[in-house]
Amino acid sequence: MKNVTCSDLGGPADCQFEIVGSTAEEMGDNCKKHVMEMVQSGDEAHQAAINAMMNLSPEEQQKKFAEYMQICTDSLRE
């Protein structure tokens, strides 16, 4: 499996936390869990990433989500 990091999925550029899972959906859930844990610990960079995503239009959010899910799916093939 290819390594997929938080930054690969829209997180802060310097966050190299590895996101793992056996399906794209599981990887997405694990990424959300990681981001929420970081935000709850006061990490401003992860909060900024959430804010950036929330400032996108609903259509842009859907497009980004589809891109992130494709990254996860592709990582499972490698």
**Count of domains observed in the chain:** 1
Which residues have C-beta within 8 Å of that of residue 38, sequence separation ≥ 6? Answer: 15, 45, 46
**Mean pLDDT value across the chain:** 92
User: Which residues form the domain of 46?
Assistant: 4-77
Residue pLDDT, tens place only, 62-71: 999 999 999 9
End-to-end CA distance of the chain: 5
CA–CA separation, 62 and 51 (whole Å):
15
pLDDT digits (tens, 9 = 90+) for 25-37: 999 999 999 999 9
Would you state the pLDDT for residue 2? Answer: 62
Tokens of 76: 């499972």
Q: Give the predicted TM-score (pTM) of the model.
A: 0.85
- Looking at residue 35, what is its pLDDT? 96
